[in-house]
Chain A
Amino acid sequence: MQEQILIQSKIEKGDFTRGGEVSSSLKDILRKLGVPSDTSRRVTIVTYELEMNIIIHSLGGEITVLISSEQIKVIAEDQGPGIPDVEQAFQPGYSTADDFVRGMGFGAGMGLNNVKHYSDQLTVETGQGKKSKFIASVYF
């Protein structure tokens, strides 16, 4: 099967009220497609974390989820400001979230760690002052 778009959605900076909407819709779509529940769960978690990452840390961005016969691919692109030290960002517990965000129960420093944990392959393009692009794949 050719790679096709499952869902594509713009995400605003700081838009907590819509946080989780993309992953919720996606979960529903995956159920309708009959995607195995374990695959669905991993894709949902990865999407949720990337969605929240854009809301909390970026200037806004977009999530695109693609499906093919072999995998489901989650692409998260944002408008910056970029991650200066990627390795550090993936450390469990490392967080740059401010008190407001932490007060809402987010920003515990597990987000990117979860993305890595639940995806089979992950590539990150970023850097200080740059736009970031995450491509996370979950194989069937």
Chain B
Amino acid sequence: MKKHSVLLKEELCEGCTNCVKNCPTKAIRVHNGKAMIRDELCIDCAECIRICAYHAKHSQTAEIADVSSYKYPIALVPPSFYGQFKGLNPARVRVALYELGFKEVIDVSLAAEALSRKTSEFLASNPGIYISSSCPVVVRLIKILYPELTGHLIPFKAPTDAMGEKARKDAIAKGVAPEDIGVFLLTPCPGKNTNIFDPVGIENSPIDKTIAVTQAYQAVLAALEKTQDVAEEDLPVPYLGLGWGQSGGEVQLLHEQVQDYSLSVSGIHRVRALLNELSRNNIKGVRYFELSACEFGCVGGVFNVVNPFQARSDLRRLRAKGKTMIEQNEGYDFDLPGKFEPLQIGRLDGDLEKAMEKLTQLEEEIAVLPGLDCAACGAPDCKTLAEDIVTGVASRTDCIFLLRKQMGDLAETLSALLYELPPVMKKEKTDGKVG
């Protein structure tokens, strides 16, 4: 089964190891000159897509053309989407989306506002430290690299999932046949696309397809040309919920008392630095963490068209128009069916004793390797190569320095052998006299 959404265009990959070195979970190795992803380690953070100068890493979603393959297509519009249109009235953008064939266009911001209220209530009655589980990449990162922190993930569905479920349920209640419904999310990131076949915290995704902003953008612009503006009261906008499209927006909607004990961190490498501190219990006085894998939050997603600085600024201005939340609380089911479970990935062996033996081998390999972390072997650093050697997927000669040393040793042996004469030639020189 496909476990992630980031893909490789092999013909474009130069095998340069930039992505290998920048991957937060060390999921990429260059093999045969191509940057291959280890499926079980990929969390779809898209860092490799960002850093690849050859555009070899990419991701695929559905397109606007796929909307017509359902009789009753529903568009879920995440808050960050409105950061793509120079601050244009969100209701106007929704009109354009109807024009593209959607039967319903629904703001995920509504669910975001409802979730904010629920989170505030939850934190008031549940002591302890909690981490937002709305960014699926953060959830996957924690499950893989910080299994000890999975218990701190707040046990709620992300607004996109809760909204998707509600939208489907509402449509069925209206009499729409379930098989006619197609729920589309206009996604800013590959992480949300992965949710379709590998959802976090729930069994089945309520979303059928995602369409990347890049795929939808031009069609939306064209539809804007064709449509008229709309009065705000006809299509109310959950302005405050739009804040969720950027880092800090989630915390801003929590009760004031909770806000004072909350922290927003964005960007996968900074999120990792924070989780490192959190796992050693070294952050005090914070009860709630809003973590986004993308810098600046969802407006920083790789599928966006507009740069994150512009999008953030435009979204902030839109949010400022909001006075109060739209109190829509009915029909959402935010509670997860179970708990977030850690994933045991990266074990040297299933058996502790054998794993200890491999750990000793690992230390021996690390001692032999040069420690330059040059990545010319295709692994991100010497320690990771050592791990690959011990687990049998790489060999010492993958290291060009060790290979060179071996060749030097071999040349020395060869040259020494050269002066070793065969026995027949080893006779003492005589002066020509016979016996």
Residues of A within 8 A of B (CB): 1, 4, 6, 20, 23-24, 27, 29, 31-35, 37-38, 40-41, 44-45, 48, 67, 69, 108, 114
Contacts and interface: CB of A to CB of B under 8 A. Distances in A.
Contacts of A40: 147-148
A31 B356 CA distance: 12
Q: Which of A24, A27, A33, A67 has the most CB of B within 10 A?
A: A33
A37 B346 CA distance: 13
Contacts of B150: 37
Q: Which of A4, A20, A41, A48 has the most CB of B within 10 A?
A: A41
B280 A44 contact: yes
B284 interface: yes
27 contacts: A1-B353, A4-B356, A20-B280, A24-B280, A27-B279, A27-B280, A29-B359, A31-B147, A31-B347, A32-B346, A32-B348, A32-B387, A33-B347, A33-B348, A33-B356, A33-B359, A34-B350, A37-B147, A37-B150, A37-B342, A38-B148, A41-B149, A44-B148, A44-B280, A48-B280, A48-B282, A67-B356
Interface residues of B, number: 25
Contacts of A67: 356
Contacts of B149: 41
B125 to A, nearest CB: 24
B352 A32 contact: no
Interface in B332-363: 342, 344, 346-350, 352-353, 355-356, 359, 362
A69 B149 CA distance: 24
A64 to B, nearest CB: 15
Given A20-B282, A34-B349, 7 more contacts: A20-B280, A32-B348, A32-B387, A37-B147, A41-B148, A41-B149, A69-B352
A34 B347 contact: yes
A20 B280 CA distance: 8
B126 interface: no
Nearest to A140: B352
A118 to B, nearest CB: 8
A89 B284 CA distance: 20
A6 B356 CA distance: 9
A20 B362 CA distance: 22
A114 B280 CA distance: 11
A21 B189 CA distance: 33
A38 to B, nearest CB: 7
Q: Which of A4, A20, A37 has the most CB of B within 10 A?
A: A37
Nearest to B276: A24
Contacts of A38: 148
Contacts of A27: 279-280
B384 to A, nearest CB: 11
A44 B280 CA distance: 6
Contact of A108 (B284, B344, B387): B284
Contacts of B346: 31-32
B430 interface: no
Given A34-B355, A37-B148, A45 B281 contact: yes
B282 A32 contact: no
Contacts of B147: 31, 37, 40
Contacts of B356: 1, 4, 33, 67
Contacts of A33: 347-348, 352, 355-356, 359
A66 B350 CA distance: 19
Given A32-B348, A33-B347, A34-B349, A41 B279 contact: yes
A45 B280 CA distance: 5
A76 B282 CA distance: 19
Nearest to B351: A34
